[in-house]
Amino acid sequence: MNPSLRKAGAWLRRRAENVAAGLLAVMFAAFMVQIVFRYLFNFPIGWSSELSVITWLWLVLWGAAFVVKESEEIRFDLIHGAAGRRTRLVIGVITGVSIVALYAASLPATLDYVSFMKVEKTSYLKIRFDYLYSIYVIFAVAVIVRYLWILSHLLRGKEPEAPDSTSVSSGL
């Protein structure tokens, strides 16, 4: 791969991690505000709970789309790990084609639903639901692109790097 493309990809990955860290910080702050107001002032506030849920939703889908590497995903790979190289390639191609086909088939209905939800807003923060749910469209497109990339490697006979189950890592 071109070194400048690799460098740009690493920069984008770090920015995606920055966004995830920001979402986590906002979620934590909203959670702490909620605790203080509920238990210290005996005055529960709804917006902090709503903000916590929204940032959690965005954090999970953003992280799955842009931060978590393929080798870091949790899998049950007893059959895959015990199979030979050729069988693993076939399993990978079948899995990749299935994922791309299912997400691509669901994308038009997803776009329709998300755009339809512009008529509704959240209770406290008054955020339109189409903005709130747009992260799922981003996630679905990212999954399709990721698996097309993986498929391109599998069809050329390159297996993705197998995770080392004997080492523990924070992903760094």
Q: How far is CA 50 from CA 108, 114, 121, 151, in A?
A: 28, 19, 12, 39
Q: How confident is the model at residue 169 (pLDDT cuts 50, 70, 90)?
A: low
- For 34-77, write each residue's pLDDT tens digit: 999 999 999 989 899 999 999 999 999 999 999 988 777 777 67
Output Rg (C-alpha) for the chain, integer angstroms.
20
Judgement on whether residues 45 and 93 belong to the same structural domain of the protein:
no
- For 114-149, write each residue's pLDDT tens digit: 999 999 999 999 999 999 999 999 999 999 999 999
Q: How confident is the model at residue 159 (pLDDT cuts 50, 70, 90)?
A: confident
Q: What is the mean pLDDT of residues 21-30?
A: 96
Q: How many helices (H) and strands (E) does the chain have?
A: 5, 0
Judgement on whether residues 81 and 146 belong to the same structural domain of the protein:
yes
Judgement on whether residues 64 and 80 belong to the same structural domain of the protein:
no
Burial of 94 (0-12, 13-18, 19+ CB in 10 A): exposed
Judge whether 138 lies within some domain.
yes
Domain that holds residue 139: 72-162
Domain count, the chain: 2
- For 68-121, write each residue's pLDDT tens digit: 887 777 776 777 778 888 888 898 899 999 999 999 999 999 999 999 999 999
